[in-house]
């Protein structure tokens, strides 16, 4: 067992401090240490996007980020999107409404990529939506409803 | 108001979008040990010895198991039982499981697995299906490497080719492996149940296959094994039979150690060891009269089954039955064979043996159109199956045949008649092409899987008016759970939100047969209806007494004139009257047959597809983009139109990957690109505009007229894309995927 390092970060707005194996990725810490299993492991090589979370507002493949690199940072996961009352975020609600969820394994990662996009660009073009989601593989939907849902969520965001 | 036919929101969507849904790796039993698998590194060898001493003494290791440690029968129960859970005396493909190593952490298990030494004596190996079938080839499957052969003969094809055809065209075609790339890799958790049995939870399509496999391996009785399906992150056939292996491995370690056990494959292990779509080879010959009437068809079809039989016989059977295409042809011969090679065993993948030969057969039909000087859509229009037609197995189509309607739908939507001629005579380096293809798909297991083709369902109405529905078919992303809820709600006259369909769990849901062959809608749907009917009669009786007249169901209420009661009120009355509020329904497939010369009613009913694709090909770079796909499927009845369109959209994109991009590279049986950066599937930037349509020609044997169709997009669509590429190039691509290299080769 290697020496543990202490990392401090905020996860979904809450401050956390934990001692972790420095070899662990952010994905492993989220899923194993913090039991936030909404973030999925699809390839653990940064190829599929299922593990996408926001680190300081930017979408990252958490399977490629050493946990220690999140020290001092702010992490947002799919569990942090819905309101305290359980109300879905606009992107989540649109994914559900538009029928963009099938097996659902890629959905949390897609939601995070889309949220990051809409924070940066309130009314993205379809091309910009496709670009923002290009790193999120989905094998079920063919993406049509996913793109439509993100577009619909953008329409709802107050200017 | 009925929910069937309306665009209701899927019941499982919100839990998935919020990350609450539990997939197998999200289950974290305390104190669980983790399993890694030591695998064969050579394609064909006798095992002289397995040295596990180093592995056993590695840090954190709890147990090491080999074939000698399997207390039950070391063979996966399936069509033919030849595939050992752990290699016994021989390895037949690179990646075959040899030993299981359980350790405190996944990393420790992986390290120890790498320390397992297998002493082998190499045998000659063969990798190509047609080479394996030649006399003198290394023997993988005794005596001649043929897992199974089929033969269909209708009419007199030799006589017809010799004397009745004005034009005859013959071509050969090949297709590569395709990898499922379900986003969630294979995984299982096994836990002791505290009474000597085991609970196995994981990602799967067929819980009762897993049950049989765990019992075979462990020697436990069926009532001592409890199988639970976790939320399943995609299947596409890849979680039909192979989860049986993963589950048996987990259960064996659990039985040996008495500990909770987790087996989660990483992406590379999943690529290397799990099933694939069979590579196919087909020689297709069509003969027609000058006016474009098909007279004869002759197909020779070979698939590469890999190292063990697994599902190859029934994959081959389905491909054989459909090999001549969805046409009325009086004279047909089809000869087919599934070959054994020293490659990873191939199995079920959406379309199940049909997409390979459909590509060849639909490509060849386009060549026939060219020879005839006829528009390829017109040639199809003159020959497609309609009511009263007979298929190549001599089956008369008696109902529910919407192929002509599907074809006309996509021809009109794509403006085929104007668009196709407008693309003639292009001269630039970037050229457009428009292609069409049609297909059909026998729904359910048919005569090839008759013994399994039945389903059971339980329904229990609780005292508060909420409803539990239990069926043994599973949700893997396709929307079946939500669809079953609609069928139950409408049959019971219950509000949709009152109905919950249970997760598949062998202690609570009956065996409804496997979740394969696009069979859930008809098989489980009908079983649910049959379970619901007697309950509805009780509820209507109670409502009649309460309302003083005949009740009419309306949006979860029961009305009579201006009086109404809720479904829950009627249920409460039934409980007060001590009426039975649970029921069992059973569906058994109507008779099917496949007799002498492959003649008979092969399937209970067919679904049909027509697709038009427009592509743009860069003649210098060889790259192809699919711009638009117009696809129409005859589904009998769309239970949820949103989900029907979603299946067409998703299937069209899988078909696009299969047609153009997805190439698994094998060298002497070693998969060289076992990852998603070198095995490329479509992203948001690679997909065409998809125009999804459905046709509803109802099937009297289906729930509300519905037929299954989930696999159908894989049948016609790759061929339509290939035909569009051929149109753009003015030359015929003989193989899928049509990579840039292959485009440049065809141009030369």
pLDDT in tens, A21-80: 999 999 999 999 999 999 999 999 999 999 999 999 999 999 999 999 999 999 999 999
Q: What percentage of chain B exceeds 70 in pLDDT?
A: 100
B260 falls within a domain: yes
Residues B442 and B468 in one domain: no
Tens of pLDDT, residues B570-589? 999 999 999 999 999 999 99
CB contact, 8 Å: B185 with chain A?
yes
pLDDT band at A84 (very low <50, low <70, confident <90, very high): confident
Identify whether the C-beta of residue B158 lies closer than 8 Å to the C-beta of residue B74.
no
- In DSSP terms, which residues pair with B666 in a beta bridge? B671
Residues A21 and A52 in one domain: yes
Tokens representing B591 are: 């008779």
Spatial CA neighbour of B415 closest among B630, B616, B626, B627: B630
Tokens representing B65 are: 């198991």
Residues B238 and B300 in one domain: no
Residues A61 and A126 in one domain: no
B600 Cβ contact list (under 8 Å, min separation 6)? B393, B394, B395, B447, B592, B593, B594
In a mutational test of the A interface, the residue from B7, B8, B12, B17 whose CB has the highest number of chain A CBs within 10 Å is B17
DSSP letter assigned to residue A44: S
Residues A111 and A48 in one domain: no
Option in B10, B235, B477 nearest A99 (CB): B10
Q: Which residue of B has its CA nearest to A32?
A: B28
Asked if B650's CB is within 8 angstroms of A133's CB, the reply is no
CB contact, 8 Å: A52 with chain B?
no
Residues A110 and A54 in one domain: no
Alpha carbons B462 and B636: distance in angstroms, whole number: 33
Q: Which residue of A has its CA nearest to B186?
A: A42
CB contact, 8 Å: B630 with chain A?
no
Q: Is residue B670 over pLDDT 80?
A: yes
Alpha carbons B419 and B415: distance in angstroms, whole number: 6
Identify whether the C-beta of residue B702 lies closer than 8 Å to the C-beta of residue B526.
yes
Q: What percentage of chain B exceeds 90 in pLDDT?
A: 99
Among A80, A109, A127, the domain boundary falls at: A80
Residues B437 and B515 in one domain: no
Residues A99 and A127 in one domain: yes
DSSP string, B6-71: S-PPPTTHHHHHTT-S-BGGG---TT-EEEEEEE--SSSEEEEEEE-HHHHTSTTEEEEE-GGG-S
Asked if B180's CB is within 8 angstroms of A88's CB, the reply is no
> Could you give the angle at which helices B312-321 and B354-372 cross, rounded to 10 degrees?
20
Q: What mean pLDDT do residues B131-153 have?
A: 98
pLDDT band at B748 (very low <50, low <70, confident <90, very high): confident
For residue B297, give the 3-state DSSP assignment. strand
Residues A29 and A71 in one domain: yes
Q: Encode burial over B585-617: b for 16+ CB neighbours within 10 A, e otherwise.
A: bebebeebebeeebbbbbbbbbbbbbbbbbbbb
> Could you give the angle at which helices B641-656 and A144-156 cross, rounded to 10 degrees?
120
Asked if A45's CB is within 8 angstroms of B677's CB, the reply is yes
Identify whether the C-beta of residue B168 lies closer than 8 Å to the C-beta of residue B286.
yes
Q: Dihedral sign for Cα A26, A28, A31, A35, please.
A: negative
Tens of pLDDT, residues B604-642? 999 999 999 999 999 999 999 999 999 999 999 999 999
Question: Where would I find the beta strands (DSSP E) of chain A?
Answer: 5-11, 14-20, 52-55, 58-61, 74-76
Q: Is residue A2 over pLDDT 70?
A: no
Q: Which of residues 256-285 of B touch A (CB under 8 A)?
A: 266-267
Residues A96 and A29 in one domain: no
Tokens representing B500 are: 């919950």
Residues A98 and A74 in one domain: no
Alpha helices in A4-143 (DSSP H): 26-28, 90-97, 107-120, 126-132
In a mutational test of the B interface, the residue from A102, A115, A133 whose CB has the highest number of chain B CBs within 10 Å is A102
Residues B543 and B568 in one domain: yes
Spatial CA neighbour of B145 closest among B340, B316, B281: B340
Residues B244 and B303 in one domain: no
A85 falls within a domain: no
CB contact, 8 Å: A72 with chain B?
no
Tens of pLDDT, residues B586-599? 999 999 999 999 99
Question: Where would I find the beta strands (DSSP E) of B619-730?
Answer: 624-634, 666-667, 670-671, 689-695
Asked if A97's CB is within 8 angstroms of B687's CB, the reply is no
Among B566, B588, B610, the domain boundary falls at: B588
Residues B505 and B629 in one domain: no
B179 falls within a domain: no
Alpha carbons B410 and B384: distance in angstroms, whole number: 15
Query: What are the φ and ψ backbone dihedral angles of A16, each rounded to 5 degrees?
Result: -130, 150
Alpha helices in A50-158 (DSSP H): 90-97, 107-120, 126-132, 144-156
Asked if B182's CB is within 8 angstroms of A104's CB, the reply is no
Option in A38, A50, A102 nearest B646 (CB): A102
DSSP string, B506-565: TTTS-----S-TT-HHHHHHHHHHHHHHHHHHHHHHHHHHHHTS--EEETTEEEETTEEE
Among B218, B240, B264, the domain boundary falls at: B264
Residues A38 and A101 in one domain: no
Asked if A41's CB is within 8 angstroms of B684's CB, the reply is no
B196 falls within a domain: yes
Element (H, E) at B225: strand B225-229
* Shortest Cα distance, chain B CAs vs residue A112, angstroms: 10
CB contact, 8 Å: A81 with chain B?
yes
DSSP letter assigned to residue B304: E
Tens of pLDDT, residues B234-259? 999 999 999 999 999 999 999 999 99
pLDDT band at B1 (very low <50, low <70, confident <90, very high): low
Tens of pLDDT, residues B406-438? 999 999 999 999 999 999 999 999 999 999 999
Alpha carbons B459 and B530: distance in angstroms, whole number: 10
Asked if B650's CB is within 8 angstroms of A107's CB, the reply is no
Q: Is the ipTM of this complex over 0.95?
A: yes
B18 falls within a domain: no
Among A23, A58, A80, the domain boundary falls at: A80
Asked if B183's CB is within 8 angstroms of A48's CB, the reply is yes
Residue B352 CB burial class (10 angstroms; 0-12, 13-18, ≥19)? buried
In a mutational test of the B interface, the residue from A97, A140, A153 whose CB has the highest number of chain B CBs within 10 Å is A140
How many domains would you assign to chain A? Answer: 2
Q: Is residue B731 over pLDDT 80?
A: yes
In a mutational test of the A interface, the residue from B19, B479, B647, B656 whose CB has the highest number of chain A CBs within 10 Å is B19
Domain that holds residue B624: 280-447+594-747
Among A80, A105, A133, the domain boundary falls at: A80
Q: Is residue A123 over pLDDT 90?
A: yes
A127 falls within a domain: yes
CB contact, 8 Å: A97 with chain B?
yes
Q: Which of residues 681-710 of B touch A (CB under 8 A)?
A: 681-685, 687, 690
Q: How many CA atoms lie within 13 A of B115 on its CB side?
A: 17
B228 Cβ contact list (under 8 Å, min separation 6)? B199, B200, B201, B202, B207, B503, B504, B505, B506
Average pLDDT value for chain B:
97
Alpha carbons B481 and B520: distance in angstroms, whole number: 10
DSSP letter assigned to residue A32: I
Alpha carbons B141 and B132: distance in angstroms, whole number: 10
* pLDDT score at B554: 85
Q: What mean pLDDT do residues A94-112 have?
A: 98
Domain that holds residue A121: 90-156
* Shortest Cα distance, chain B CAs vs residue A8, angstroms: 24
A151 falls within a domain: yes
Residues B381 and B322 in one domain: yes
Tens of pLDDT, residues B63-88? 999 999 999 999 999 999 999 999 99
CB contact, 8 Å: A115 with chain B?
no
Q: Is residue B356 over pLDDT 80?
A: yes
A140 falls within a domain: yes
How many domains would you assign to chain B? Answer: 3
A108 falls within a domain: yes
Residues A71 and A96 in one domain: no
CB contact, 8 Å: A38 with chain B?
yes
Q: Is residue B662 over pLDDT 90?
A: yes
For residue B213, give the 3-state DSSP assignment. helix
Residue A139's domain is classified under what CATH number? 1.10.150.120
* Shortest Cα distance, chain B CAs vs residue A96, angstroms: 5
* Shortest Cα distance, chain B CAs vs residue A71, angstroms: 24
Element (H, E) at B313: helix B312-321
Asked if A136's CB is within 8 angstroms of B267's CB, the reply is no
Option in B18, B478, B676 nearest A137 (CB): B676
B389 falls within a domain: yes
DSSP string, B607-618: EEEEEEEEEEEE
Alpha carbons B372 and B621: distance in angstroms, whole number: 32
Alpha carbons B748 and B743: distance in angstroms, whole number: 9
Tokens representing B325 are: 């295409």
Identify whether the C-beta of residue B492 lies closer than 8 Å to the C-beta of residue B536.
yes
CA B109 to chain centre: 32
Among B565, B588, B611, the domain boundary falls at: B588
Contacts with B684 from chain A: Cβ below 8 Å: 129-131, 133-134, 136, 143, 146-147
CB contact, 8 Å: B463 with chain A?
no
For residue B335, give the 3-state DSSP assignment. strand
Residues B471 and B345 in one domain: no
Asked if A96's CB is within 8 angstroms of B10's CB, the reply is yes
Residues A76 and A12 in one domain: yes
Cα separations in angstroms, A149 against A152, A156, B270: 5, 11, 31
Identify whether the C-beta of residue B273 lies closer than 8 Å to the C-beta of residue B96.
yes
A26 falls within a domain: yes
**Order of strands across the sheet that contains B606-618:** B430-442, B606-618, B624-634, B689-695
Residues B200 and B332 in one domain: no
Residue A63's domain is classified under what CATH number? 3.10.20.30
Residue B226's domain is classified under what CATH number? 3.90.1170.50
Identify whether the C-beta of residue B274 lies closer than 8 Å to the C-beta of residue B186.
yes
Residues B582 and B610 in one domain: no
Residues B328 and B422 in one domain: yes
Asked if A108's CB is within 8 angstroms of B236's CB, the reply is no
B203 Cβ contact list (under 8 Å, min separation 6)? B23, B24, B184, B186, B187, B188, B229, B230, B232, B233, B235, B239, B243
> What Rg, from alpha-carbon coordinates, does chain A have?
16
Q: How many CA atoms lie within 13 A of B196 on its CB side?
A: 6
Cα separations in angstroms, B611 against A138, B357, B370: 22, 16, 19
In a mutational test of the B interface, the residue from A1, A35, A133, A144 whose CB has the highest number of chain B CBs within 10 Å is A144
* Shortest Cα distance, chain B CAs vs residue A50, angstroms: 8
Residues B259 and B338 in one domain: no
Alpha carbons B648 and B139: distance in angstroms, whole number: 41
Contacts with A133 from chain B: Cβ below 8 Å: 683-684
Q: Is residue B555 over pLDDT 80?
A: no
């Amino acid at each position: 067992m290697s020496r543990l390092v202490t990392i401090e970060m905020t996860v979904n707005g809450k401050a956390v401090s934990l001692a972790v194996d420095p070899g662990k990725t952010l994905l492993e810490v989220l899923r194993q240490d913090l039991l936030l299993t909404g973030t999925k492991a699809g390839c653990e090589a940064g190829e599929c996007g299922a593990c996408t979370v926001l680190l300081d507002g930017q979408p990252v493949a958490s399977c490629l980020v050493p946990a220690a690199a999140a020290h001092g940072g702010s992490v947002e996961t799919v569990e942090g999107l819905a309101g305290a009352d359980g109300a879905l975020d606009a992107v989540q609600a649109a994914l559900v409404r538009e029928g963009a969820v099938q097996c659902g394994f890629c959905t949390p990662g897609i939601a995070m990529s889309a949220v990051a996009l809409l924070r940066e660009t309130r009314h993205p073009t379809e091309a910009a939506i496709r670009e923002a989601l290009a790193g999120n593989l989905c094998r079920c939907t063919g993406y049509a409803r996913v793109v439509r849902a993100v577009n619909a969520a953008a329409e709802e965001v107050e200017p | 108001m009925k929910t069937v036919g309306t665009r209701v929101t899927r019941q499982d969507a919100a839990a998935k979008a919020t990350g609450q849904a539990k997939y197998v790796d999200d289950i974290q039993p305390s104190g669980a040990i983790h399993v890694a698998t030591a695998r064969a590194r050579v394609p064909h060898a006798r095992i002289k010895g397995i040295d596990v001493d180093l592995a056993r003494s590695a840090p954190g290791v709890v147990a090491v198991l080999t074939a000698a440690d399997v207390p039950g029968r070391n063979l996966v129960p399936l069509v033919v039982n030849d595939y050992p859970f752990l290699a016994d005396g021989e390895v037949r493909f690179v990646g075959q499981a040899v030993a299981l190593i359980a350790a405190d952490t996944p990393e420790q298990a992986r390290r120890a697995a790498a320390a397992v030494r297998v002493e082998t004596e190499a045998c000659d190996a063969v990798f190509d299906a047609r080479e394996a079938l030649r006399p003198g080839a290394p023997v993988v499957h005794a005596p001649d490497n043929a897992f199974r052969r089929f033969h269909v003969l209708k009419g007199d094809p030799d006589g017809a080719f010799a004397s009745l055809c004005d034009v005859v065209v013959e071509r050969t075609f090949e297709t590569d492996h395709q990898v499922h790339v379900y986003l969630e890799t294979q995984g299982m958790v096994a836990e002791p149940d505290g009474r000597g049995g085991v609970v196995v939870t994981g990602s799967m399509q067929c819980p009762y296959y897993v049950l049989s496999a765990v019992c075979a391996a462990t020697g436990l009785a069926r009532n001592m094994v409890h199988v639970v399906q976790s939320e399943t992150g995609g299947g596409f056939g890849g979680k039909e039979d192979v989860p049986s292996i993963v589950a048996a491995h987990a259960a064996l370690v659990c039985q040996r150690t008495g500990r909770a056990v987790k087996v989660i494959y990483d992406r590379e292990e999943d690529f290397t060891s799990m099933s694939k779509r069979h590579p196919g080879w087909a020689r297709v010959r069509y003969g027609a009269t000058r006016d474009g009437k098909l007279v004869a068809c002759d197909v020779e079809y070979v698939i590469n089954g890999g190292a063990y039989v697994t599902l190859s016989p029934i994959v081959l059977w389905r491909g054989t039955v459909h090999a001549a295409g969805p046409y009325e042809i009086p004279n047909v011969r089809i000869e087919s064979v599934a070959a054994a090679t020293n490659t990873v065993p191939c199995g079920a993948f959406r379309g199940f043996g049909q997409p390979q030969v459909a590509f060849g057969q639909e490509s060849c039909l386009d060549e026939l159109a060219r020879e005839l000087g006829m528009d390829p859509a017109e040639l199809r229009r003159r020959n497609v199956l309609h009511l009263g037609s007979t298929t190549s197995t001599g089956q008369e189509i008696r109902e529910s045949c919407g192929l002509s309607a599907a074809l006309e739908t996509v021809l009109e939507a794509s403006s085929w008649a104007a668009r196709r001629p407008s693309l003639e005579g292009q001269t630039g380096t970037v050229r457009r092409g428009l292609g069409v293809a049609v297909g059909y798909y026998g729904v359910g297991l048919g005569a090839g899987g008759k013994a399994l083709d039945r389903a059971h369902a339980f329904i229990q109405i609780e005292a508060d008016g909420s409803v539990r529905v239990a069926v043994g078919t599973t949700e893997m992303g396709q929307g079946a759970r939500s669809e079953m809820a609609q069928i139950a709600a409408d049959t019971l006259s219950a509000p949709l939100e009152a109905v919950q369909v249970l997760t598949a769990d062998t202690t609570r849901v009956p065996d409804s047969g496997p979740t394969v062959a696009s069979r859930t809608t008809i098989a489980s749907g009908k079983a649910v209806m049959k379970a619901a009917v007697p309950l509805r009669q009780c509820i209507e009786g109670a409502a009649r007494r309460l309302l003083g007249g005949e009740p009419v169901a309306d949006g979860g209420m029961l009305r009579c004139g201006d009086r109404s009661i809720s479904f829950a009120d009627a249920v409460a009355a039934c409980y007060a009257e001590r009426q039975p509020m649970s029921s069992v329904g059973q569906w058994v497939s109507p008779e099917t047959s496949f007799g002498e010369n492959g003649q008979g009613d092969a399937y209970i009913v067919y679904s049909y597809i027509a697709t038009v694709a427009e592509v743009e090909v860069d003649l210098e770079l060889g790259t192809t983009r699919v711009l638009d796909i117009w696809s129409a499927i005859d589904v009998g009845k769309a239970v949820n139109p949103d989900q029907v369109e979603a299946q067409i959209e998703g299937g069209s994109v899988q078909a696009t990957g299969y047609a153009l991009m997805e190439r698994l590279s094998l060298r002497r049986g070693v998969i060289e690109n076992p990852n998603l950066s070198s095995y490329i599937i479509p992203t948001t930037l690679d997909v065409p505009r998809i125009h999804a349509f459905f046709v509803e020609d109802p099937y009297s044997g289906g729930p509300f007229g519905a037929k299954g169709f989930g696999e159908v997009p894989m049948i016609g669509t790759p061929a339509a894309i290939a035909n569009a590429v051929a149109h753009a190039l003015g030359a015929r691509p003989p193989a899928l995927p049509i990579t840039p290299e292959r485009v440049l080769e065809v141009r030369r």
